[in-house]
A and B are shown apart, each in its own frame.
Chain A
Amino acid sequence: MSTAKTFRVLPGFGPTLGYTLAYLSLLVLIPLAAVFLKTAELTFAEFWNVVTAPRVVASYKLSFGMSLLAAAINAVFGLMLAWALVRYSFPGKKLIDALVDLPFALPTAVAGIALTALYAKNGWIGQFLEPLGIQVAFKPLGVLVALVFIGLPFVVRTVQPILEDLDTELEEAATSLGAQRWQAFRHVILPIVFPALLTGFALAFARAVGEYGSVIFIAGNIPMVSEITPLMIITKLEQYDYTGATAIATVMLILSFTLLLLINGLQAWTAKRTGRDR
């Protein structure tokens, strides 16, 4: 070990790390630790009973399944939307660009009520879907619609800057080498956009898992059918069953964290495979 202090041209490592840790602890780590501590009041058998109750398990399936599906849908259509916004100029482009952020800003309850009104049997859109045998409101499909709505900006906003940096020369080069349109997309554009797309996917997914406000209105909250996990937690809280609520929260936390870790790992792997990391 050298005795000389490492010399840094740009100072600030000490304060920055200290600030980061303190801030993160106060806002994230301590509250999360409290969740685990509260849960620890239960014996393992009790815990297991709470978190594997059939209604709760059904809610995991709905929450995580629909969140993944919604994030996937957003990944596809968010990419298309970002592409259109970056590549083409059309009247009202600025307006549409601003509209993308609306799901961020809108109170989720407002979004939920609006979606419910639209997709209910007698709603503007619901009345046309009803004769086709498609029910959206008060069904799992309604949950999906709400989750797609709130997740869209995440994908658009993460992919947009990458597409803006993407040189059209790359596509021209691919085309002049004989690549068809879809080949150029598949082999040239997609690999470059993919890490950002994954980030957008992960963000949209994380947001969807935690979403409460917009979903409970349109979901109808029918036990075993359209109850989301956050609702199960609220239900427990309303019954003053705090440890039960934190037990479910713990499971959610662990599942979400594992999935996000997996996505990050996938991202690192693609970055390495494509030489960005060396």
Chain B
Amino acid sequence: MSIQVRNIHKRFGSFIALDDVSLDFPTGELVALLGPSGCGKTTLLRVIAGLESADAGQVLLDGDDASGTHVRDRQVGFVFQHYALFRHMSVFDNVAFGLRMKPRGQRPTEKQIAGKVHALLDLVQLDWLADRFPAQLSGGQRQRIALARALAVEPRVLLLDEPFGALDAKVRKELRRWLRKLHDELHVTSIFVTHDQEEALEVADRVVLMNQGAVEQIGTPEEVYRRPATPFVYGFLGAVNLFHGRVDGEGLRVGDARLPQQARGFGEGAEVLAFARPHELDIVPDAGAGEGIAARVSRVLAFGITARVELDGLNGAQGQHFEVEITRERVDRLGLAEGQAVRLLPSHLSLFESRQAATTAGAAR
């Protein structure tokens, strides 16, 4: 089932949680709502589920306005961050709950229910836990049971609110992969909320980036990572180095340093924010003058294929920290040591006009 969200507004007191949000979720896709805490992603999910009502705007399920439809009639499966399993019921009874609550006429027989529950428990690979109680399960198992419970009523949409947020790193990673596999089998339209960019990029078909109640960018994981549309997205997705610069003729001036990059499309003297990923910076020996940003090596971390070099800015970039990824070979060739003065040369820079950008990028850090 497709979901459309039209001009949703929602405020809690004076806090604006959702500010005119419009989105399309096509049938069968797994979409991630990604953003920092307080950006409105969970509120949006709850509005779609019907657990929260919007102040203005519409939620269309399969093209029909669902505003007047109660949660219990929306046929959405909702998975909570803290599982919300019924602790006084066994795993079996938890999964069977939705089926047993159906009106008498539509309710399957106990035998049919048992069949269905065991099939679902098989699907989440936990059939052997049917007689246990939630307190006896690990976090990852509980969340899989919660998912089976939500699937039992054959929801038209699956909504997951930070489903892996309460789990430790290793289990998260396993469950991520498992969720993706499950979605490929079931193809039920799914939206999941997360603040973990890695999770969103790894699992979702499409990523919706939200900040301060508004949508910043929508795209495939690759699109949003490769071509961030706003400074916020740049700062939020992956490690990034930020330079405050000014357009100076053909080039760019950062503090005392000149960078060779061309700054087309900006007026002379315009303040810009320049972003470079760690692998888009190169380190060159400091020759006293010339191009590049002066910095001092503070740490060299060389345990992988690539080495990570942390640097402190000098002259005009004081107080700033940079992160550079180069090969270990290059570290050896340069003979980098702590305290050494070097210059940083970007191979690629993404530029944004500074005025409105500065505030949003600041919020993203």
Q: Report which A residues bind B (CB closer than 8 A).
A: 167, 169-170, 172-180, 183, 187-188, 191-192, 274-276, 278
Of A167, A170, A176, A276, the residue contacting B72 (CB under 8 A) is A176
Contact B101 A180 (CB under 8 A): yes
Q: In the complex, what's the smallest C-beta–C-beta distance from A170 to chain B, in angstroms?
A: 5
Q: In the complex, what's the smallest C-beta–C-beta distance from A178 to chain B, in angstroms?
A: 5
Contact B84 A169 (CB under 8 A): yes
Q: In the complex, what's the smallest C-beta–C-beta distance from A51 to chain B, in angstroms?
A: 42
- Closest-by-CB residue of A relative to B98 is A177
Q: Can you name 12 extra interface pairs (CB under 8 A) apart from A172-B51, A176-B71, A178-B73? A: A170-B84, A170-B86, A172-B80, A174-B97, A177-B149, A177-B153, A180-B72, A187-B101, A191-B88, A275-B87, A276-B87, A278-B136
Pick the most buried of A169, A170, A192, A276: most chain B CB atoms within 10 A of its CB.
Answer: A169
Contact B88 A169 (CB under 8 A): no
A265 to B144, CA, bound (A): 35
Count chain B residues whose beta carbon lies closer than 8 angstroms to a beta carbon of A: 29
Contact B153 A178 (CB under 8 A): yes
Which residues of chain B have C-beta atoms less than 8 A from A178's C-beta?
Answer: 72-73, 98, 101-102, 153
Which residues of chain B have C-beta atoms less than 8 A from A180's C-beta?
Answer: 72, 101
Contact A173 B80 (CB under 8 A): yes
Q: In the complex, what's the smallest C-beta–C-beta distance from B112 to chain A, in angstroms?
A: 16
Chain B positions 74 through 99: 1 when the CB is less than 8 Å from some CB of chain A, otherwise 0? 00111010101111111000000110
Q: Answer yes or no: B133 CB below 8 A from chain A CBs.
A: yes
Q: Answer yes or no: B247 CB below 8 A from chain A CBs.
A: no
- Closest-by-CB residue of A relative to B100 is A187
Which residues of chain B have C-beta atoms less than 8 A from A172's C-beta?
Answer: 51, 71, 78, 80, 84
A233 to B90, CA, bound (A): 50
The answer to whether A169 and B101 touch (CB under 8 A), given A175-B72, A177-B153, is no
Which residues of chain A have C-beta atoms less than 8 A from B97's C-beta?
Answer: 174, 177, 179, 187
A174 to B136, CA, bound (A): 21
Q: Answer yes or no: B257 CB below 8 A from chain A CBs.
A: no
